[in-house]
Structure 1
Amino acid sequence: LGRSTAPYSLLIRTAGLQNISMTDAFFVGTRNMGPAVTIGSGVHTQTLYQETKANGKIVVAPTAATVCPAGGYVQGAGHSALSPLFGLAADNVLEFHIVVASGELLQVNSISHPDLFYALRGGGAGSWGVIFFATFRTFPTFDEAFSVIQIAASSNAAMGATVHAL
């Protein structure tokens, strides 16, 4: 789609980073952050939702099945159908493992490299390095319903009139 590229930029394929691991107690330093899932930056939303559901958990992630939550999605704040209940994905990410321009692999969280952690949580995709893994807070699963209404209109005025009529 071209949304992740820019002139004279470098695009790195992370599709092989498919690791998923669940834990009931994820620690940042000595602080237990609760249940979490760590995913590779190549894991698609559909795979993530299937894995978390199989473990009785849910995670704030995209609606689109083919988006990779650990990459540009979370770096752009990460809006979700679950955001009104649990916040943005950026609010729920606990840690990143990222390779920076010097080639160093950093473990980044609220204690280790806190400025970079803050920047990665909504500061723009691809600006800071290559994310290999991200760890997200999980929540107990619940019954949910999701629906989408798609309206095609010839102009903004027509769209406004249609929405107003609903």
Structure 2
Amino acid sequence: MSLLSDVPTDTDLQVLADALGVQLRATHQRLVTAESCTGGWIAKVATDIAGSSDWFDCGIVAYSYEAKQALLGVRPQTLEIHGAVSRETAMEMVSGALITAGASLAVAVTGIAGPGGGSEDKPVGTVWVAWKRRGGYARAEVFHFAGDREAVRRQTVAKALIGVRDMLTA
């Protein structure tokens, strides 16, 4: 990422996506995204890469509770008890993405990009990212990003892509 800022530039995101695409293509794997707070930005960055149809399966944008339930199989109880911005929801989103798509890897993001919507427990900039490999490996991590709405979303896209890359090299 840029040395001038913690917030990745468009070029930074494209470099990450391009490198990830090379790795996915080389290992004959495909990616699905399940996105809330990024609104499809991870899928956009991926599909900006020429030839991404070799390694990108699909992107699911599920912003509302209803969409998370209908498109990704997030249980109503999970949303009631833990809320949309939680480890539990992110893990159900990433699992649901793999059920919905034919991909071998998935990433899911859910968070509070701001400027409103935060609370004492979940301030603006709180984002959960989950990654899962078909048939096993899954993990989720919470991030607390600084900056305005765009900065939070850019940082989320970068962390999501980096996490998929790390999954491929683990």
Q: What TM-score, normalized by structure 2, do the two folds share?
A: 0.28
Structure with max Cα Rg = 1
